[in-house]
Structures are given as structure tokens and as C-alpha cells.
Amino acid sequence: MASSSSSSSQGYEIPWVEKFRPTKVADIVGNEDAVSRLQVIAQDGNMPNLILAGPPGTGKTTSILALAHELLGPNYKEAVLELNASDDRGIDVVRNKIKMFAQKKVTLPPGRHKVIILDEADSMTSGAQQALRRTMEIYSNSTRFALACNTSAKIIEPIQSRCALVRFSRLSDQEILGRLMIVVDAEKVPYVPEGLEAIIFTADGDMRQALNNLQATFTGFRFVNQENVFKVCDQPHPLHVKNMVRNVLEGKFDDACSGLKQLYDLGYSPTDIITTLFRIIKNYDMAEFLKLEFMKETGFAHMRICDGVGSYLQLCGLLSKLSLACLTAKAA
Amino acid sequence: MGKRTAIVLSSDDDDDNDNDFDFDFSVKPDLNRFNNPKSKSKSKSASVPRSNPKRSKKTRISSSSSNSRSRSHPGKNVNPFDEMKLFCEDFGEGFSGFKVSAGYRRDNKELWLDKYKPCSLVELAVHKKKVEEVKVWFEERICITKDEYCNHVLLITGQPGVGKSATVHTIASHLGAIIYEWNTPTPTIWQEHIHTTNAGLRYLSKLDEFENFVERIRKYGLIPSSLTEEVRKPFIVLIDDLPVINGKLSYGRLQRCLDLLVQSVRIPTVILMTDYGRSDAADYASKCWEELQTSLQKAGACKVAFNPITGNSIVKTLSRICREEKLKITADQIDVIAKTSGGDIRHAITSLQYFNLKSDLKPISKDATYSGKVSHKIDHLDDGYSLPFGRDETLSLFHALGKFLHNKRDTENLPSCDMDSVFLKEDFTRLPMKMDTPERVLGQAHGQARPIADFLQENVLDFLHEEAMDDAWVVASYLSDADTLLTSLNGVLSRNYEAENIIQSTAASVAVRGVMFGNRHPLSSRWHAIRRPLLWQVEQSLWRNKKEMVGERSIAAYNCVNLSELSTIAIEWRPALKWLGSRVSEYNSPRKGSIGGKMVDNNCNMERSNEPCDDDEDDEIEDW
Amino acid sequence: MLWVDKYRPKTLDKVLVHDDVAQNLKKLVTEQDCPHLLFYGPPGSGKKTLIMALLRQMFGPGAEKVKVENKNWKVDAGSRTIELELTTLSSTHHVELNPSDAGFQDRYIVQEIIKEMAKNRPIDTKGKKGFKVLVLNEVDKLSREAQHSLRRTMEKYSASCRLILCCNSSSKVTEAVRSRCLNMRINAPKEDQIVKVLEFIGKKEGLQLPPGFAARIAEKSGRSLRRAILSFETCRVQQYPFTNNQVISPMDWEEYISEIASDIMKEQSPKRLFQVRGKLYELLVNCIPPEVVLKRLLYELLKKLDSELKHEVCHWAAYYEHRMRLGQKAIFHIEAFVAKFMSIYKGFLIATFG
């Protein structure tokens, strides 16, 4: 299960992301397919070279670290080399450091190999990746590689060819909720269900974000409800935006605009408003044509905002285009 | 143990030996190669001189730079050391309970890649014709006197994981030749560099070292050590890893160096180059490789292009491995794994090993809960294949695309019980989709917006009804919207992950939903191959033509006095010169291939893509 | 040698079309000095010719001895060095190049080359420090950053280097750059001017021109003198002596586009759209700019349409041309336009004929 569950509120408090990070592969939430296979590797050894790809906060680094711990146990310090994007990872370092580590002789139980973990591998230059491929091949008897990245497209093909590619997808709401409940029980956080829902909404499939938001809300307000969550996470309240969308759909353009004005006056940046709007539209149950048109117009508005025109007028323009789409489509 | 004559090759395998090797047999170097009975015949004996790292160090210092690891390869010293090796081995086995270096044990704890490395020609999964070609090339060079042939360089190109080096090693062992490999030497770390510059030695870049190596090879060849009296085995030089090049100058140097090699080397040499043929718009580096290949061919090298391995061969190999490992994997699953590998057998074997970890987990993960309010009966065509592994453009993407393009709908509209429901005009209503929300399918398929839009654009017209022109317009307009949205990815704010995320999701959603919405009268489902976008080849050809035109402009073919714009060249000069071709003999001849001719004339690249189909006489034509 | 080059006027006096502009230029250029100049006008109107004649006026016949070379530049851009390669045409007194060939790194080129010229200032006959002329083509395709850097360097180095800029449309050149130059608008020659030139060439070549022949060529050329002379030469190659009704053949890509247009008019269906797409790929592969394709396609379609549909078709063509500029892959948008046209036209046919 999760590690230490002492809820110390005085002194230095470890971020809950770290405190409740699973140390065993079995405890990892989500992506059962991948995780169950990693479990088997943890028991049997003989890990193939792996690339774990997926959106942030889905458990890639955690999985690799847990796997390395389980595989190597007490030998972890000597038998694992970790390099992430903040380390120097140019070609020379790759060749030298990694090579020297790969050559190092470490006493390990049979069936276990040294592990080199390369986190955020997609930010390695292609020269460094090229240098890596040869090393991977030669030292495959004694050393295995695990790369974590956001998009596998940035990893060059020869390396993709030498590894098994494991994809992690965004966590579902239930999975995040499950873990949140565990943390809430352990830390004795007072909450209401809507508060947890709000946290899940802001997280958007990212466990790390969810835990951080939970901790921030608790530390700031000592009580997790919707209001506090949105105060802390500082996104436009989804219900508010949902009302806006509903008004547009029902044809009440003025109400929608006043809702928008409220949001704008609260100080939210147009990008935030658009992001929330897009998320709401994605999950809103409306007719197919309307959803398509809404998404399209939101995308264009986002484009204009990125170009630099992030004004209230642009957002109103967006709302009006949405209303126009509704009008064209509505039966008389 | 004899003196070593300096020079020739360096091999990184030598670095396997630790510096603390001593002769008391308690440390086992990487004996795996010798232990594994299957690989005994492999001639990776470039890794041989393990027992003499100290001496090698001496020779190292005597060579030009303290960094270059040029050591000789006393290939002939194999045998006496072999005996010693075997001795070590036996000794080591007795010690197996004690100090065992990681990976020494050969009980199933190695990668299947290594375990099932092909060691005979029969085991190669590469197409027989290609193997024959390479084998014949070698035989001609090795077994017959060399003077008859002017070229001794063979260039093997192909995707990663397609069997290039495996073929060379297997053929070499079959013919009894010894392979000497060039491996990029270890680079200098900063402290070393300071030290050596202080010592007055010049810094050698990897390109420099490669050039030195080439110089030595072509001038002096390989000097065998004369220790043993065995019959001289023929040598083959293998260059697997060309140095990384940045920019035009180093590219020029590399090209000249390789040209020299091709023209003047006397030993059969094989150069392996990896193709990056599957990318969208190939980037500058890969275009460089193509140019390099053509220039090598012009200089006289023979080229053999290895195609992606066919599905059947992969299935055969995987089945063999399954039998030997006694796995319980069904033929269907093997099929799926073979397909997801994309012609890359190395990846297929790794995926098999990975998949096998939990083979009772079906690869099918049906989504039992749809986000809609009503539950549908799952259509039997709706497999919900969500493969959490495999490279891009694999089965899951194609399945997702298939769903979008086929656009299955329910036969009737279910009553909506939502108070919010808005009644739309008939034109704008659609029957509910018979699948999960497009966004979820996209998420499972792990696809990026740009390739999805391109694939949809290429294929959607096949799925529209013949008379449905309006549908075509709707679909095309949404695809055009998606393209516009995707352009903003190139802007300044694309460094922001949030913004990029939204743009990607929006564009993908618009493209997919637009295609589904627009296709009002989908054709009844029949089997359609989903093609790769022709657009990608067009873009590559376009890039090439533009380069050519820029080149032509500099020959002042068009205008002696001032430079013309590229568009003017295309629009006015070239067509005019076609008509006036006979009169302008002093200019270069205008490009062959006229507009209106077949596409094949202009896009030589297209033929390359058709190759995999043409070559498979034994196997079916695959649609990747 | 092509007639376009053979009969290109070499000096400002011999300029046939735009002789008023030529005379103005002559007056402007005294003592081997001239301000920065910006020539703009439709393609084929004679901008380059005037520039070369101007250079010759300033520097004498030496300006005509040009050398083509591919120069490599190593530019230090902060943390890294960029290597660029460009084709330049140079003589002892001037350098000509297309900075937009370098793509989005064009501003480095502009800065580097001007700095280089500033370093090597020639000494003129009077012992004063002379200057070189830098001719930049296609300045309307320069990125915004390049134009900004241009304006700074223009001012700083104006003692050692004169700029002559050449572009098709001045609206894409920033205000700042335009205000630092003398703008010379070169209009497209009128048809009778073209006819005069053609007759002049005909006389020099000793050809007999039937009446109205030159006028027909001039009409088809779309007021581009280069096009007219090229067509003229093509006709000569095809058939001489000229007949009255000789067909003046258009460029092959133009013919191809009119084929596409008739394909579109004949059948409107997704299948036909797919075939049209294939043909469009042909054109695009041959580096015909997509805007030109769209414009010409529209022109061909309009020729065959009745007046009722014309305005709608034009509207959508303009809309998709804008989209093409915003977007990445031109084919998406051209195809959307063709689909829209087919849809409009089909609707029209059904409405009219039932």
C-alpha cells in the first residue's frame, strides 16, 4: 500500500504526490494492461527495453521507479542510473556516463539486469539518441533501458525499434477518485463529494495535478468543497461556463454574454476561459452538429487569442458565432 | 602473446573489458557470445582480444591521439585465446553460485532478441532474394580474385529492425569470413579534452576519427597477425554507424570521405544505413542520408535496399519463438503483434516478449460503458482494439480511422429524454453514432492530429456515396478548418503545452467529427484498404523539385543577367523551354516528364513505395 | 540565346517601354550615387531590366560581367552557428540575391551580407570610398523580422552600400522600409506597347508578321512582356511563316488547368473530385504556386459559367485563398473549393433542369 501515512501538519510537509507515490508496481493506478505486465516483469525479471509514452501525470516515471525498486531491491543504488531532462544529456554524456555505467560490474541475482532510466527522453537530441542505440544493443545482456516520454514520435526510429513501446493513456475519473479517497482517508481531509468532483474536473486525467490541487485546497482552506477548489485552482467555475453554454443553446444570448462578462471581470485570462469552455463542450450532451460547430469556433477563437488578440470582444464574438450556429440549425 | 601491429579498426566491444581484468580467471568477460551455442559460429570476433587490454592500451598510446582507440585486431589470435576462453568458461561454471556478473547466466534471462538471433541463413526473416543478392555479392568478392571487380563497397539501406546487420553477420559466418566492425569510439569528456589540449595533442572529432579510419583501411587494408598458421580467412569490413553530422560542411567531408572509400578500398566493405522512410515531411537530416546514398551509388557502390519485413515472415518467426519458449499465444494474437510492428522484426520480437508477460489478458479492451445515455448492443465489427503498445500508425490507428470512415450509425433515433434537447432541422440531425465518442477513440488510438487529418483527407472520398456532392463539400470544408487550426501549432505559443494540447485536440476533433457528420450517406460497409496519404510523397517530391530548380537557377540557365524567382521559373521559363528545347542546346535540357503525364514519371519516390508490394511473390500483398 | 535576353535593353536609353521612368532614373543617378530604391509592379513588367540598365548607367559596362556562385555563410546566432547557403550573382560593383530562399532564417542573410559589403568597400576612380549596390529580389516574401533588420542595416550602412529592392507588390513591404526608399512603380505595359516591342523584335529577326498577329499575342500575354516575347518565340518555333489564324498556345500548365476545369464541369461527384485531386497534385509537385493554381482555375471556371453563379463562386474562391494562406497544406483548401463549386453547380443544374 501507500507508504507512510502520518499526517504531520507542523513543520515541513512532504508533497502528497511524493508521499503517496506507489512504491510497488501493484499499487499504480490506471493503465491496467501496462501495469500488470510490469508486475510480471517485477516478479520474473528479464525486462525488455521499454519506452513508456503518454500524457503527463499518468504514472510513467512512477512505474519505472517502482519496477526498478522491485527488481533490484537493495542493489538499487548501484544498479540503477537515472537521468532526466534536467541532467546533462548531450551526446558525450550519453556515450560516456551511460557506457561506463553499462560496463560496470554489479553483483545481482540471476535474471536481473542493471537498469538505466531516461526520463523525458523526447527532449534528448537525435544525436544523443543515435549514440544510445548502439549502447543498447551491445550491453543488452547486462543492462536494460527504460525511457519515459510524452510523445513517442520524438524518439528516433532505431530506438523505437529496439524497445517495446508501452502507451499510457489518461486516467479515468473513477481511477483518480479511488486514489483521492485513499489519500483523503489517510490525511483525514474533510470534504464533500462535489469538492472531489471539482478536483477531478480540474485534473483532466492527470493524477499529479489532482493530488496537488487536493493538497493545496486542504492546506489553504482546510475543507474541500467546490468553492475552495476553484479558488485555489483558479479556473473558471465549470458550472458557470456550463450555464453560459446552456444559455447559448437555448437562445438566451444576453444571459450568456453577461455570464461571460462576469468571468472576464473576475480576471480570468481568455486562454483559461477557452480551455474550460472546450472541456465543457467536449463533455456536454448536445446534438452532433452543434458540438462540431462549437468545437470549431472555439478552436478558431483560441487561434486568434494565441495570435495576440485576447480581448473581451473576441470572446463575445465567439459566443455570437455559437449562437449563430444554433440559429441556423434549429428547426423553425 | 605476440606483438600487435598497430592500426586498423577499433571496436567498442573491446571496451567491454574492464580495466581491472587480470589473468586469474575470476572475472568473466562477456562470454555470452561464446556460451550461447547458437552464436558460436558468429563471427563477431572483432570482440576477441579481451585478454589483452593492457597491451592494447600500450598500442593505443603509440597511435596518433590519446583518444583514438585504434587497436589492431589480431583475428588470427582467436584460436589460442579461444582455448583459454573455454577454460575460463568451465571454470566459471563451477563458480556460478558465487560471483556472477549480471547477465552471465544463460537461463532465459536474456532478451529474446539476442536469444533468437538468426545464426543460419534459413533463420533470417529477410526476403530470400535479398539475402541471395547480398550473399552472391560477398561470394564474388571473397572467393574470386579481387582485381576483376572495381567496386568493393556494398550499401545496405532499410528501415530500422529490418535485418541488415543480422544478414551480414549470418552470411559472413556462413562463408567463414571474419567481420571487422567500425564502431564509433568513445567521445571525450571535457576534463579529458582539457588535459589533452594541455598536453599539446589536437582534439579529434568523431568525424576526424572516421576519416582516419577510412584512410587507413584503404591504404593499408587489414593486416592479419601472423601468429597462427591457419588458412587465412577472408575479411569483411562492416561500417554500421556513420558519424553524426551537423550542417553542410561536415556533411561534405563525410561525403568526400565515403567517396574515397568507395573508390579505393580493396577489401569488401559493407555500409549499413538506416532509412527514415515513414515520416510525414522528412527532415533535413534524413534528406541528407538520401543524398549520401545517391552519391555513394554514383561513386560506384552497389546498393541493396531492404524492405520492411512482410507480415508472414514475422508471423513465422514469432511462431517459432512461441514454440521454443512454449508460449500459449494464439495465432490471432501473433497476427496482431506482427501487424503492429510495422515491418520491424526487432520490435515484433520485443513486443512479443512484452506481451507474453501477461498473455491471458486479451488485447481487446471493450469499453462497456458508453458515454451516451442509452446502451447499445456492441456491433461485432466494433472490436475496440486498443493496443497499449506498438509503434505509431499501427493497428489501433487504422481501426480508429476505419470506425470514423465507415461511420456506422443506429437505424433509428432514440428518444431523447433530456430537457435540454434542441430540435434541429432535418438537415442537421444525425442518427446517434454506433461507437464511443470520437474523442475517446482518438485517445485510445493515441493518434496525433496532423497524421489523422492527412489520413482522413486521403481516404474519405472513398467512403462517400457517389451522388453525394454536398457531403463531399461538408467534409472538405471541415478538413480545411482542421488544417487551418493545425497551422497555429507552428506559432510562438506552441511551446506552451496547454495551448498545444488544445489546438491538437480541437483540430483532431473537428477533423474526425466533420468527417463523420458530413458523411450522411455512408456506403454500405465493405472492405476498404486505408491508404497512406499520397500527400506525403507529393511533399517530398516537391521539396526535391524545388531544390533542383534552385540548382538550375544557379547554372544561369534561365537568365544570364539576373536571378529569377522560383515561381517564374516554374510558370514561365520551364514551359517555354520545353517548346524551345531544340534551340537552346547550350542550356541544360529541361526536366523530363511533362505535366499531364503519369504521376510515376515525376514521382520517382512513388515507385519506391510500391516496392514492398512488388517484391513479395511468395507473400501476399500487404497494406501497411 | 532566348529572345527575351537577346533583346533586353541594356542601357537606359534603349528602354522601349517605360522610357519615362528610364529618363527619370537617368536624371537621378549622378556622380555614381543614388538613393535606395524600391521597384514594384506586376511580374514581367520590366523591373529587372530597368535595374540592370540602371546599374550599367552607374558603373559602366563592368556591371554586366556577372558571376554566379553558391556562397556559404556561417552566421553566429548567439548560442549556435547557422550555416546557410545561397546563390548570388555578383559583379565588381553589385551583388544580387534572393534572401527569401533561406526560408525563415532570411534575416541572418540580410544582416550578414550587408555587413560583409560594408567591410569591403571599394575605392572608386577618384580615390573616394565608393559603394556597392545590393539588389534584393522578392522582398515581399521576406519575413517580418528580416524586414525589420533590413531597415536598421539600411540606415547604418548606407554610406557603403546602396539597396535596390524589387518586389511584386509593395503592400507586403513594411512602411518603414518603404519610407527609406524611393518607390518606383513600374506598371504593366499596355498592349500597344507590347505590340511595338514585338514588332521591333520581328524586324530585327527579319520575320514577317501578319496584321493583328502581334496584337493577339499581346492580348494573350496578360500584359506581361516576358510572357509575350516567350510566346512569340514559341510561335516562331512552331510554325513559320506565320499564318493569320495561327494558334498561340498557352503554357502547358495553363492547358492542364483548363482540362481540370472541363473535368469539373462535366461531372460532379466524389469520384471526380478524387481524380481532380490527383491532377492537382501533379501541378503542385511541379512547383506551380497554389495561389496561381487557384486563380487560374477560377478564371477557367468563370469562363464557362452563367452570370448567376459567378458571384458565389468568386466569394468562395476568395475565402479559400485566404484559408490557404492561413493553413499549411494547400491541397486541403483547393480541394474544398472544388468541392464547393461542384456542389453549387450541381445544385444549379438540378434546379434548372430538374
Span C198-235, pLDDT tens digits: 989 889 888 888 888 888 888 888 888 888 888 888 88
Of B101, B484, B493, the CB nearest to A306: B493
For residue B369, pLDDT beyond 50: no
Q: Tell me, what DSSP letter sits at residue C102? A: G
Residues within 8 A of A (CB atoms), B 494-523 only: 497-499, 502-503, 505-507, 509-510, 513-514, 516-517
Span B4-51, pLDDT tens digits: 333 333 333 333 333 333 333 333 333 333 333 333 333 333 333 333
Beta-carbon contacts of C19 under 8 Å, excluding residues fewer than 6 positions away, are none
A113 and B103: CB-CB below 8 Å? yes
Q: What is the mean pLDDT of residues B55-83?
A: 36
Beta carbons within 10 angstroms of residue B622's beta carbon: 15
Bridge partners for C77 per DSSP: C80
Span B253-262, pLDDT tens digits: 777 877 777 7
Range with the lowest mean pLDDT among A20-24, A245-249, B617-621?
Answer: B617-621
Bridge partners for C81 per DSSP: C76
Span A235-286, pLDDT tens digits: 788 888 999 999 998 888 999 999 999 989 988 888 889 988 998 998 888 8
Alpha-carbon distances, residue B314 vs A47, B114, B174, B334, B338 (angstroms) = 22, 16, 23, 9, 6
Range with the lowest mean pLDDT among A88-92, A230-234, C90-94?
Answer: A88-92
B107 and A111: CB-CB below 8 Å? yes
For residue B359, pLDDT beyond 60: no
- State the Cα–Cα distance between residues B405 and B457, nearest whole angstrom: 10
Of C230, C287, C339, the CB nearest to B549: C287
- State the Cα–Cα distance between residues B350 and B356, nearest whole angstrom: 10
* B99 close contact with A: CB closer than 8 A: yes
Bigger pLDDT: B241 vs C224? C224
Given the C-alpha cell 589470435, which residue does it identify? B77
Chains in touch with A (3+ beta-carbon pairs under 8 Å) read B
pLDDT in the model for residue C1:
75
pLDDT in the model for residue B558:
54
A249 to chain B: closest CA residue: B422
Span C142-191, pLDDT tens digits: 888 888 888 888 888 777 788 899 998 888 898 988 988 889 899 999 88
Smallest CA–CA distance, residue A56 to chain B, in Å, is 10
Alpha-carbon distances, residue B510 vs A246, A291, B517 (angstroms) = 21, 9, 10
pLDDT in the model for residue C342:
93
Q: What is the mean pLDDT of residues B598-624?
A: 32
For residue A83, pLDDT beyond 90: no
Of A299, A302, A330, the CB nearest to B425: A330
Mind giving me the DSSP string for C317-335?
A: HHHHHHHHHHSS-HHHHHH
Bridge partners for A144 per DSSP: A115
Residues within 8 A of C (CB atoms), B 547-566 only: 549-550, 553-556, 559-563, 565-566
In the structure, how many helices (H) and strands (E) does chain B have? 23, 5
pLDDT in the model for residue C256:
92
Helix (H) / strand (E) element for B383: namely none
Q: Tell me if C49 sits within 8 A of C58, measured CB to CB.
A: no
Range with the lowest mean pLDDT among B223-237, B255-269, B454-468, C299-313?
Answer: B223-237
pLDDT in the model for residue A257:
92
pLDDT in the model for residue B200:
61
For residue C78, pLDDT beyond 70: no
Bigger pLDDT: A204 vs B183? A204
A292 contacts in chain B (CB < 8 Å):
478, 509-510, 513-514, 517
Beta-carbon contacts of B37 under 8 Å, excluding residues fewer than 6 positions away, are none
B99 contacts in chain A (CB < 8 Å):
107
B571 and C284: CB-CB below 8 Å? no
pLDDT in the model for residue B53:
36
Mean pLDDT in chain C?
85
For residue C126, pLDDT beyond 80: no
Of B469, B484, B575, the CB nearest to C342: B469
Bridge partners for A53 per DSSP: A149, A167
- State the Cα–Cα distance between residues A290 and B517, nearest whole angstrom: 10
Smallest CA–CA distance, residue B598 to chain A, in Å, is 33
Smallest CA–CA distance, residue A93 to chain B, in Å, is 8
Q: What is the mean pLDDT of residues A285-305?
A: 90
Q: What is the mean pLDDT of residues B327-349?
A: 78
Residue B56 banded pLDDT, cuts 50, 70, 90: very low
Based on C-alpha coordinates, what's the Rg of chain A? 24
Of B32, B353, B430, the CB nearest to A141: B32
Q: What is the mean pLDDT of residues A8-32?
A: 79
Smallest CA–CA distance, residue A315 to chain B, in Å, is 16
The rounded percent of chain A whose pLDDT value lies above 90 is 12
pLDDT in the model for residue B619:
31
Residue A293 banded pLDDT, cuts 50, 70, 90: very high
- State the Cα–Cα distance between residues B294 and B259, nearest whole angstrom: 11
Bigger pLDDT: B361 vs A224? A224
Which of these, A250, A251, A280, A277, lies nearest to A263 by C-alpha position?
A: A277
Instruction: Give me C223's grid cell.
Output: 500584359
Q: What is the mean pLDDT of residues B491-498?
A: 54
- State the Cα–Cα distance between residues A215 and A221, nearest whole angstrom: 10
- State the Cα–Cα distance between residues C236 and C219, nearest whole angstrom: 17
Smallest CA–CA distance, residue A120 to chain B, in Å, is 14
Span C242-277, pLDDT tens digits: 777 777 888 888 889 999 999 999 988 888 999 999
Which of these, B182, B391, B111, B278, lies nearest to A51 by C-alpha position?
A: B391
pLDDT in the model for residue B495:
52
